[in-house]
Amino acid sequence: MADSSFRVGFVSDGPPSAEQDAALAWLGERDGVEAVTVADGDDSQGNLDVAWWHRDEPLADGTPAPVTAALADVLESGGGVVLSLRAMEAVTALGVETVLPDVTTIETVAEPTGPLWRVLYDDHPAVADFETVRIPVCDRGESAVARYESVLPAHGEILAGTHCGGTDVPQEMVVAAWNAGAGAVLGVGTPLLFGESAAPSVAENRDRLAMGCLRALAGGPTQPERPADAAAMAGMRTRLGTDPSRPAYHLTPPANWLNDPNGLIAWNGCYHVFYQYNPAGPFHNTIHWGHAVSEDLVEWRDEPVALAPSPDGPDRHGCWSGCAVDDDGTATALYTGGKGRSQLPCLATSEDPDLREWHKHGDNPIIETPPADLDVIETEHWEAEFRDHSVWREGDTWYQLIGTGLDGAGGAALLYSSGDLREWHYEGPLFVGDGTDGSVWECPELLDLGEKQLLHVSNYEDVLYFLGEFEDGRFRADCRGVLDHGDFYAPQSLKDGDRSLTWAWLPEARDLEAQWDAGWSGTLSLPRVLSLGPDGRLRQEPAAEVTELRGRRLAGPTAFDLDSDRRRLPATGRRLELELELELADATAVELSVFESPDREEHTHIRYTHGGDLRVERAASSLDNRAATDTQGMTVTPYDEPLTLRAFLDGSVVELYANRRHCLTSRVYPTREDSTGLSLRAEGGRASVRSLSVWEMRSAMATGTADAASSVRL
């Protein structure tokens, strides 16, 4: 099709505007294009390959019926329809979509602006010959625009956000695709002006993009669809699978965005992990519930999206964090629904043994307002900071925790009770911070560890935990700490026999542009077992099943002494587990270097010193200036025993477990293919490595076949 001619019908409804006249004149000058005018929907010449409706005026009275009929005829005959500027609003009249773009307006363009194309679809014919996904097509003028911003199309797939003035604005989603029977629709709501002059390079981009969109739909080729089954999800994973920074044995989304783990539940012999997911790209917006499942905590497979916002529901702008429980044989999820500036608890149930299909409660939200007697914090985003749910059962009573913040006090976890998970009674604050531990607490969770209970909360920076007793509706803390001292947030747990398994979100430590270019963002920690040690203190260690991911042993078990000479280890890789026991002797520190290039241009230091300080130093971790370069640290106690360290290296993850008590998880992004080395050295004296073993680790995530991968391509 790239070298063949095609026939474009330029749609006009009423007298054309100056912008429409300019667009039609532009179209008439294109080589290989036969342009005809479809006036007021009258396609008397017929046989169109593409119909193009370019409209810069609002559709005040909806799409004119003659235009709808003409466009529908093109689709029915297997042709394509391009809807640019405000014409993108016609997708509902055409019957291909039920959710309109939520932003339709006139904007002043004063700097280069255009689509920010998703790398998942960078081979789409509209942009295949561009060398970048950032495509400025307008740099001045008043332009009509149409875009999805806080909602997604129900049936279409987003292809592009916005790049404006050198900045990525992915939440301004300006290009979307729909398949309609034998035909296809492409909505292009970005500023695309033909009646306004532009810098030569910008005008060239405009011409190439507009022609690319028209040519892509000539003959009605299939457009990308939002992956809706397990094979398509696996296909996305396969397409992005060559990225060396992509974790392989930590649970990641197939593509796009992941944050908090949600709805962790063991069901019908499987472990189900749901998570906050944005199917529109690797950015935090329009949150759905993603889904992964495993029979053994070792091998995981992607499942279709489980929960999606309802356009007319209390979760219109997001199905936010929540949990899942077994209600006498019915899987039940409680989650925060977001709509406008309101966030309130909602409920959904599933009769599906695989937990793929969920049905939302007809009377959502199940709690209509925060407690009236509390001064709950209001912010610019939310009229009340009131979200995230942890639910458990004692006898015939269900209990629920909701996170909040109280003016003049700080973070708090509020306690509710219910007999049926639908009617809830406010019992009072379970626990309130002292004002020094965060103004708002998210994702509260109360775990029974036997002799003590553990309450953990996330305060935007850290995951704080408190050990103590829960009695008579209140929690009394005996001690406190930080669950993980690095890139670790919003953990959630499930009870698995006599153990608690915990996962957390490991956020990226590189900027938004780098995340967009990768096509994915976020991963989850390994499943951890939280327990009490004999000394009554918290213990954390990887679930025993993690050892099943070990492949070939690359080194050890071996013992040796260290001095100031760097000792390179006979093992390399980006996906490894190290098990190390060392004693400082008279050395002041021991430095373990990972993800190390042969010339040490790139390396990440894990440094342990007298006094128990353990640090991850990221100053030289990456040559990419978009990655974090700070140092993260914690204190490992007690000091009078050798350090036992399990280090999990996985693409861009460094997850450390020290003395079965203390954890530090870090994100680093080596750029060189040879940044795979390991080395050790002592400082200020000699140290003893009592034992060292290194294993390759195999992937935990199932990938798709070549056929599945092709389902996300054209």
Q: Is the dihedral of CA 82, 87, 90, 94 positive or negative?
A: negative
- Which residues have CB under 8 Å from 366's CB, separation 6+? 334, 345, 346, 347, 421, 422, 423, 424
Amino acid present at 94:
L
Give the Cα separation of 40 and 13 in Å (integer): 4
Is the Cα dihedral 71, 72, 78, 80 positive or negative? positive
Residue type, 156: G
Q: Which helix (H) or strand (E) holds 224?
A: none
Residues 6+ apart with CB under 8 A from 33: 5, 6, 7, 8, 27, 211, 214
Closest by CA position to 113, among listed 237, 206, 247:
206
User: Distance from CA of residue 88 to its chain's centroid?
Assistant: 27
Q: Give the separation between CA 679 and CA 660, rounded to whole angstroms.
A: 23
Residue 367 in contact with residue 347, Cβ under 8 Å?
no
Out of 260, 315, 462, 650, pick the active-site residue: 260
- 244 preceded by a cis bond (ω within 30 of 0): no
Residue with tokens 């971790």: 621
Could you confirm whether 363 is annotated as catalytic?
no
Cα distance between residue 283 and residue 265, in whole Å? 26
Sheet architecture: strand order including 575-583: 550-562, 687-697, 575-583, 643-650, 653-658, 662-667
Rounded-to-integer distance, Cα 212 and Cα 120, Å: 17
Task: Give strand ranges (E) for 130-287.
Answer: 141-147, 157-164, 167-169, 175-180, 183-188, 256-267, 270-278
Distance of alpha carbon 188 from alpha carbon 211, whole angstroms:
12
Element (H, E) at 666: strand 662-667
How many whole angstroms separate alpha carbon 521 and alpha carbon 517? Answer: 10
Secondary structure (3-state) at 235 = helix
Residue pair 437/411 in contact (Cβ under 8 Å)? The answer is: yes
The answer to whether 345 and 336 are in contact (CB under 8 A) is: yes
Residues 136, 143: Cα–Cα separation, whole Å: 14
Residue 50's alpha-carbon distances to 24, 38, 47, 383, 598, in angstroms, are 14, 11, 9, 47, 55
Helix (H, G, I), strand (E, B) or coil at 633: strand
Tokens of 272: 């189900």
Supply 374's token pair: 């509390």
Task: Give how far Cα 549 sits from Cα of 497, 575, 640, Å.
Answer: 22, 11, 32
> What are the catalytic residues?
260
